[in-house]
Chains A and B, each alone.
Chain A
Amino acid sequence: MNIKEIVEKTGKRSDIVFAADHKYLCSEPGQALIKDSIRQHKLDAIVVAACSPAMHEATFKTLAQLSGLNKYNCEIANIREQSSWVHDDPHKATAKAHIIVSEAIEKVKLNEPLQPITVPVTRKVLVIGGGIAGIRASLDVANAGYQVYLVEKSGSIGGRMAQLSETFPTLDCATCILGPLMVEVYRHPNIKLLRLSKVEEVRGYIGNFKVKVRQEPEYVDVAKCNACGECAKVCPAEVPNEFDFGLTWRKTIYTPFAQAVPPAYVLDAKNCLGLLPQACGECQKACDQLGTACMNLDAWPRTHELEVGAIIVSTGYELYDATKLTEYGYGTYPDVMTSIEFERMLSASGPTLGEIKRPSDGRVPREIVFVQCAGQREPETALPYCSKICCMYTARHAMMFKEKVPDGQTYVFYMDIRAGGKGYEEFVKRCQEERGLLYLRGRVAKVYEENGKLIVKGVDTISGKRVQINADLVVLAVGMIPSAGSKELASTLKASLDANGFFSEAHPKLRPLESPTAGIYLAGAGQSPKDIPETVAQASGAASKALDLLSSPTLEREPTVAQVLETCSGCGICIPVCPYDALSLNANTNLAEVSEALCEGCGTCVASCPSSSLSLRNLTDQQMLAMIEAIVA
């Protein structure tokens, strides 16, 4: 673009006192130029024609304020992203940039000097999801001295990590390193843990959220229950245990796992035989007989109304439904399992107490095939993305298998090994070399059963040959998908999701811990697939972002909000259109009223008003018309 031409043309305008060019306005000399010209020419408004306001709006507005202007008398004309970067023809781009500048000039001429709105901050935090991310974030906020509400949908915190046997690359026992944190959460005076709970409604805005949490009836009084287990002994109903992915059974009154927090039994209301109408009630009888009396089968759901300043979303992940990957026969052949099921089997507290056995006949498998990237990096038929952790845990699984079955043979089908992480590459190499794991670069085309063996047909792209393995067990490394309730929660929070259903971050590089919705922070695999160290780091980061917000008792909000003009007749059309509940009818005057603290300045109400009695500060109809005139002139 020809910047010189724009500067010259703009400088000739009668309403322009001073126009100049600088290569890097955002640099210190560039900023000094702006500051000096404001003072020297006694400017009452400035237009910065540069990059997107998403980059440097704050820089230049603050600079204007420091130089004696009201910061709302500074406007940004985005001539980079909206002109020079997107057009090939320099002449046309120059002409367009000139229009963008003229338009900003027309706007800034009619801008009012405004003062930011100051609102109080509720110095409490809501954490949604009690996996390792939610646990870490809760502890960080609570340790800094602020109140935390930790909402967990299941009967215990711990999340996926509680189901793992070991962690890579150090082979730490997962429960052993997670357990102390879970206990700390439970004992922390600043953390209120709400199990069996779900966020139902969120109103308000950054610093001042009003949240409704629905807690399913607990039936078991957490404070009184001592987890003696007498209730479960007499319970007549058994259902597959979801903690072991159905590889074991549990009663309908149960403890999710030995280290569950809170350490109280949970009643599975869906499968219980004793609720409404009360038909069984054996558990309550047993409990009452012992004198513990912690059970109440007539319990009702409760709604907790919470006020918080910040929300941390740590809803975690689930696994892709392997039955959709019909080529592998999961769901048809019992000896085809997912890696998380295999993980449970490796666990000393798992369904086989750590022994590896075929689900079909209980035999110890000799030949085992691991299929990496199962249903991943498959944009046409399954998940398009890489789940990041599977190369690592598969190496660990294969290595653990060899440790438990030394004469067994492992085959790992892989696309490539993604072991980026501290000590990760070394770990995979060590597993491969020390344990003699056979890695085959290629994909599996088909798995079927023949004479009690699973026939795995695939290709080894290094030798260029098709391979067939007669295996005893096949383990599928299926991908991570966002937790089931993510979509619903996102709409409750007015937070956005990405194409794959994970929570979107405000900026992929520079604001990875924040949702684009102010006051909502993200931690863990609910934002993108990630491993435990990354999850913990993000959780601490999100907590520190929330603490940053809580560190001041008040918060400044943009004053560019809607205002009601005198012509309002009180028709009320604007009230339901406001997405932020910022509009209401004044009880005395019966006219519309804007809550400045709630208004986001979106302008929906302005567009809806039949008598043009609503106006956005510094984006009035007059300004819009002036800008349009500048464009069409």
Chain B
Amino acid sequence: MQSYLYFPGCTLRTVAKDYDASAKACARALGFELKEMQEWLCCGAVLSNVEDNLMTKAGPNRILARAQQEGDKLVTLCAGCYNVLKRTDLHAKLASPAQQSINTFNEESYNGGVNVVHFLEVIRDQVGFDAIERAVKVPLKGLRVGAYYGCLLLRPSGEMKFDDPNRPSILENLLMRLGCTPIDYPARTDCCGSYLSVGSAENSQPMSAAIVKSAHSCGAKLLAVGCPLCKYNLESSQIPGAKNTSAEEFLPVVYFTQLLGLALGLRPEELELNMQQMQAIREAQIPTSEGRD
């Protein structure tokens, strides 16, 4: 079985276990394995743009140095980890004096070379969307999904080179292959508020709420994401009593891997989808004349 070296990151071990489980289940169903790195640590969660603060960069460099011993490609799921690790690799390649200091401090040299990819890229480039379409057992017909990208997968676009930062399409392209009807809505690349939700939720909440509102008004019944923090923010702006949304505008939020798993015929338990979520997905699915296969 083809296997890919995999970096889960802290969130996938805590609040986003469902993301981790569903991605692994999808991988198995598609005939490959996500092989977890033997030893890993926190990526730092954000890549510090402060030039003289090298401490924050020691962690991701150490991760990549260790990954390099196990392989030359590293798959990530969390958009934050993906952003940090991919950019750390790019910066390491520059062989700057700062990089030398980091390497000296780490006592583990990393000078670039690990190809950091997102699970979505594996699905698109290694498996291929055509193969995905062939592997679909339960087409999610009539599911009106708003793909939500957030910032970290796409920006800074010059470094990430993931997709068009303003008009991305990779998630929609995947969702279409699963039988879904992706909904185009203007806020799908807006910022969810990110870590502002930790210290000043009063600022982040309106941002998330505006995204939900935008998707809802364009006809989405469900949001699909690839980032645990985005999911947290989008959900917490909708909890009962939250200021900026109304109950009618409620949109369940799931990981794209969970939808992929359902389409591949996996059971909700394998994807860690709970009863409420399944209920919401079923409600979101507008029956079509073709019905479910």
Whether B166 contacts A326 by the Cβ 8 Å rule is yes
Residues of A565-582 whose CB lies within 8 A of B? none
The digit string for A456-487, where 1 denotes a CB below 8 A from any CB of B, is 00000000000000000000000000000000
Is A327 close to B, CB under 8 A? yes
Query: In the complex, what residues of B have CB within 8 A of residue A446's CB?
Result: 166, 186, 190
B104 lies within 8 A of chain A by Cβ: no
User: Using an 8 Å CB-CB cutoff, how does the interface string of B155-178 with A read, 1 for contact, 0 for none?
Assistant: 011100000111100000000000
Q: Measured between alpha carbons, how far is A446 from B158 in the docked complex, in Å?
A: 18
- Please indicate the chain A residues that have their CB under 8 angstroms from the CB of B157 in the complex: 381
Alpha-carbon distance between A34 and B102 when the two chains are bound, in angstroms = 59
Q: Which residues in chain A, 500-556, are within 8 Å of chain B measured between CB atoms?
A: none
Q: Mark A432-465, 1 if CB is under 8 A from B, else 0.
A: 0000000000000010111000010000000000
Inter-subunit contact A326/B186 (CB<8 Å): no
In the assembled complex, how far is the CB of residue A624 from the closest CB belonging to chain B, in whole angstroms? 37
A220 to B158, CA, bound (A): 50
CA distance A446 to B165 in the complex (A): 11
Residue of A nearest to B186 (CB): A448
Q: Closest residue of chain B to A380, judged by CB?
A: B158
Kindly list chain A residues whose C-beta atoms are within 8 Å of the C-beta of B190.
446
The listed residue (A327, A380, A449, A450) touching B166 by CB distance below 8 A is A327
How many residue pairs bridge A and B at CB < 8 Å?
A: 18
Within the complex, the shortest CB–CB distance from A66 to chain B, in Å, comes to 55
Which residues between 122 and 155 of chain B lie within 8 Å of chain A, taking CB atoms?
Answer: none
A446 to B191 Cα, complex, angstroms: 12
A282 to B72, CA, bound (A): 66
CA gap between A189 and B167 in the complex, in Å: 55
A326–B165 CA distance with the chains assembled, in angstroms: 8
Min Cβ gap B48→A in Å is: 20
Size bracket, chain A contacts: 10 to 19
Q: How far is the CA of A330 from the CA of B190 in the complex (A)?
A: 19
CB B32 to nearest CB in A, in angstroms, measures 32
Residues in A whose Cβ lies below 8 Å from that of B158: 380-381
Q: Give CA–CA (A326, B167) in the complex, Å.
A: 6
Minimum CB–CB distance for A478 against chain B, Å: 16
Bound-complex Cα distance A455 to B186 (A): 9
- The distance in angstroms between the C-alpha atoms of A450 and B190, with both chains bound, is 16
A327 and B165 alpha carbons, distance in the complex (Å): 8
Instruction: Compute how far the CA of A448 lies from the CA of B211 in the bound complex, rounded to whole angstroms.
Output: 14
Chain B residue nearest to A328 in the complex (CB): B166
Closest to B218 in A: A450
Contacts of B165 in A (CB 8 A): 326-327
A449 to B167 CA separation, bound complex (whole angstroms): 14
A449–B158 CA distance with the chains assembled, in angstroms: 26
Cα distance A380–B165 in the bound complex, in angstroms: 13
* Bound complex: CA A326 to CA B156 (Å): 15
Q: Which residues on the B side are within 8 Å of A380 (C-beta)? A: 156, 158
B237-272 contacts to A, CB under 8 A, are none
CA distance A455 to B158 in the complex (A): 26
CB distance from B212 to the nearest CB of A (A): 15
Instruction: Report A367-385 residues with CB < 8 Å from chain B CB.
Output: 380-381
Chain B residues with CB below 8 A from A326, complex form: 164-167
Chain A positions within 8 Å of B156 at CB level: 380
Contact yes or no, A450 B167, CB < 8 A: no
A326 to B164, CA, bound (A): 8
Complex: chain A residue closest to B187, CB-CB: A448
Segment 183-217 of B: residues with Cβ below 8 Å from A: 186, 190
Which B residues are CB-close (under 8 A) to A332? 167
Q: How far is the CA of A446 from the CA of B190 in the complex (A)?
A: 10
Residue in A closest to B164 when the chains form the complex, CB atoms: A326
The residues of A that contact B164 with a CB separation of less than 8 Å are 326
Bound: A381/B190 CA distance, A: 19
Could you tell me the distance between the alpha carbons of A381 and B158 in the complex, rounded to whole angstroms? 7
A328 CB to closest chain B CB, in angstroms? Answer: 8
Q: How far is the CB of B223 from chain A (nearest CB, A)?
A: 18
Complex Cα distance, B167 from A344, in Å, reads: 28
Give the shortest distance, in Å, between B49 (CB) and chain A (any CB). 14
Query: Which chain A residue shows the least CB distance to B189?
Result: A446
How far, in angstroms, from A14 to B157 measured CA to CA in the complex?
A: 66
Nearest CB on B from A420, distance (A): 31
- Min CB distance A38 to B, Å, is 54
Give the chain B neighbours of A455 by CB distance below 8 A: 186
Enumerate chain B residues within 8 angstroms of A381, measured Cβ to Cβ: 157-158
Smallest distance from the beta carbon of B209 to chain A beta carbons, Å? 16
Residues of chain A lying within 8 A (CB to CB) of residue B166: 326-327, 446
CB distance from A454 to the nearest CB of B (A): 11
Distance of A447 from chain B, by nearest CB (Å) = 9
Q: Which residue of A lies closest to B166 (CB)?
A: A326
Q: How distant is A213 from chain B, measured CB to nearest CB, in Å?
A: 41
> Which residues between 322 and 337 of chain A lie within 8 Å of chain B, taking CB atoms?
326-327, 332
Q: How far is the CB of B213 from chain A (nearest CB, A)?
A: 11
Question: A381 CA to B154 CA in the complex, in Å?
Answer: 13
Cα-based distance from A321 to B158 in the complex (angstroms):
18
- What's the least CB distance linking B207 to chain A, in Å? 11
A380 CA to B156 CA, complexed, in Å: 10
Closest residue of A by beta carbon distance from B217: A450
Shortest distance in angstroms between B219's beta carbon and chain A's nearest beta carbon? 13
A555–B190 Cα gap in the complex (Å)? 65
Docked complex Cα distance between A450 and B167 (Å): 16
- Whose C-beta in chain B lies nearest to the C-beta of A324? B164
Closest CB of chain B to A434's CB: distance in Å? Answer: 36
Give the complex CA separation of A326 and B230 in angstroms. 23
Minimum CB–CB distance from B124 to chain A (whole Å) comes to 19
Q: Give CA–CA (A446, B156) in the complex, Å.
A: 16
Contacts of B167 in A (CB 8 A): 326, 332
Once the chains are docked, how many angstroms separate the CA of A332 from the CA of B165? 15
Q: How distant is the Cα of A449 from the Cα of B186 in the complex, in angstroms?
A: 8
Closest to B188 in A: A448
Inside 8 A of A449's CB, which chain B residues have their CB?
186
Q: How far is the CB of B217 from chain A (nearest CB, A)?
A: 8
> Most chain-A Cβ atoms within 10 A of its Cβ — which of B157, B158, B164, B166?
B166
| C-alpha spacing A380/B157, complex, angstroms | 9
CA distance A1 to B158 in the complex (A): 45
Question: In whole angstroms, how far apart are the Cα atoms of A8 and B160 in the complex?
Answer: 61
Q: How far is the CA of A380 from the CA of B160 in the complex (A)?
A: 12
Chain B positions 74-92 with a Cβ under 8 Å from a chain A Cβ: none
Q: How far is the CB of B148 from chain A (nearest CB, A)?
A: 15
CB-defined contacts of A450 to chain B, threshold 8 Å: 186
Instruction: Give B93 Cβ to nearest chain A Cβ, in Å.
Output: 17
Residues of A within 8 A of B186 (CB): 446, 448-450, 455
Complex formed: what's the CA distance from A449 to B218 in Å?
11
**Chain B contacts for A448, CB-based, 8 A:** 186
- Report Cα–Cα, A448/B165, bound state, in Å: 14
Interface centre among B156, B164, B167, B186 (most CB of A within 10 A): B186
Q: Within the complex, what minimum Cβ distance (angstroms) separates A231 from chain B?
A: 43
| A527, chain B: closest CB distance, angstroms | 29
Which A residue's beta carbon lies closest to that of B190?
A446
- Give A448 to B164 CA distance when docked, in angstroms: 16
Q: In the assembled complex, which residues on chain B have CB atoms less than 8 Å from the CB atom of A327?
A: 165-166
A453 CA to B165 CA in the complex, in Å?
23
Q: What separation, in Å, do the CA atoms of A405 and B166 have in the docked complex? A: 32
Q: How far is the CA of A449 from the CA of B190 in the complex (A)?
A: 15
**Distance from B211 Cβ to chain A, minimum over Cβ atoms (Å):** 13
Bound: A446/B151 CA distance, A = 14
B13 to chain A, nearest CB (A): 35
Ordered nearest first, which 6 A-B pairs have the shortest CB separation? Answer: A448-B186, A326-B166, A327-B166, A326-B167, A380-B158, A326-B164
14 new A-B contacts at CB < 8 Å, known A381-B158, A449-B186, A450-B186: A326-B164, A326-B165, A326-B166, A326-B167, A327-B165, A327-B166, A332-B167, A380-B156, A380-B158, A381-B157, A446-B186, A446-B190, A448-B186, A455-B186
Measured CB to CB, the residues of B under 8 A from A are 156-158, 164-167, 186, 190
Q: List 18 A-B contacts (CB under 8 A).
A: A326-B164, A326-B165, A326-B166, A326-B167, A327-B165, A327-B166, A332-B167, A380-B156, A380-B158, A381-B157, A381-B158, A446-B166, A446-B186, A446-B190, A448-B186, A449-B186, A450-B186, A455-B186
